[in-house]
Chains A and B, each alone.
Chain A
Amino acid sequence: MVTILYFAGLRESLGCAREQVALAGGTATVSSLVDQLRGRSDSWTEAFAPGKRWRVAVNQQMADLATPLRPGDEVAFFPPVTGG
């Protein structure tokens, strides 16, 4: 299992702030997790469609599609940041 957090506009469009997800078998990466999420429904496919701007962090460090995932990891998806 990994914990997934969603922030800002992504949280709103998905209607989900936090969840626990079992990783599909084999070697898990951010990329395989995103594929898994895209398969859920149209809104998930749309939110993670190619060309959509989103960012990912693993264990509170910026990550990318190739970042490996292990059970217990905290994964966060969010739009490009707009602080300051």
Chain B
Amino acid sequence: MPRVRVQEADFDVGRELETLAGGRKDIGAIASFVGLVRGENDGDAIAGMTLEHYPGMTEKALESICDEAHARWRLLDTLVIHRVGRLVPGDRIVLVAVASAHRGDAFAACEFIMDYLKTRAPFWKREETPAGSRWVEARDSDDSAAQRWKG
């Protein structure tokens, strides 16, 4: 099973974490993050959103972010699943899971992967508001979050 998947289908968090552990005896910690669609953004009700990506580059970018996490921390495995297509509030968008011997590496790498994913992986959200649909603007706070891992 590749450690990076971009798909329209939903995923089962419990099953994915179990697969990641895979009956191994060297994993002492799995940290995971699940991103969900919110029903509100910038003061507007959101009925749904459509996620677009760049087939080929998106997968490569996610692989390279996972490789960088492996280079920075002592990790045993990583998993990133990101959905595309139309999603509605409450839907799962993304799962990042990191396995390591001890929790510190897993916690840090999980946050690092999400911060880099937000600023480097080519995905774009178009959200549906009562006034029509609009492309979501990139947030400066996401850039700041990614910047803190530098140096």
* Chain A contact residues, CB within 8 Å of chain B: 5, 7-9, 53, 57, 60-62, 76, 78-84
Contacts and interface: CB of A to CB of B under 8 A. Distances in A.
A53 B124 contact: no
Given A7-B52, A84-B118, A79 B135 contact: yes
Contact of B35 (A57, A62, A79, A84): A84
Contacts of A7: 52, 54, 122, 124
A81 B120 contact: yes
Interface residues of B, number: 26
Contacts, number: 71
A82 B137 contact: yes
Q: Which of A9, A78, A82 has the most CB of B within 10 A?
A: A82
Going nearest first, the 9 A-B pairs with the smallest beta carbon separation are: A83-B123, A80-B138, A8-B124, A60-B57, A9-B135, A84-B118, A82-B136, A82-B125, A84-B117
Contacts of A82: 118, 123-125, 135-138
B51 A83 contact: yes
Interface of B: 35, 51-54, 56-57, 60, 82, 93-94, 114, 117-126, 135-138
Nearest to B60: A60
B124 A78 contact: yes
Contacts of B114: 84
A68 B56 CA distance: 21
A82 B114 CA distance: 12
Contacts of B52: 7-8
B109 to A, nearest CB: 16
Given A7-B54, A53-B138, A81 B122 contact: yes
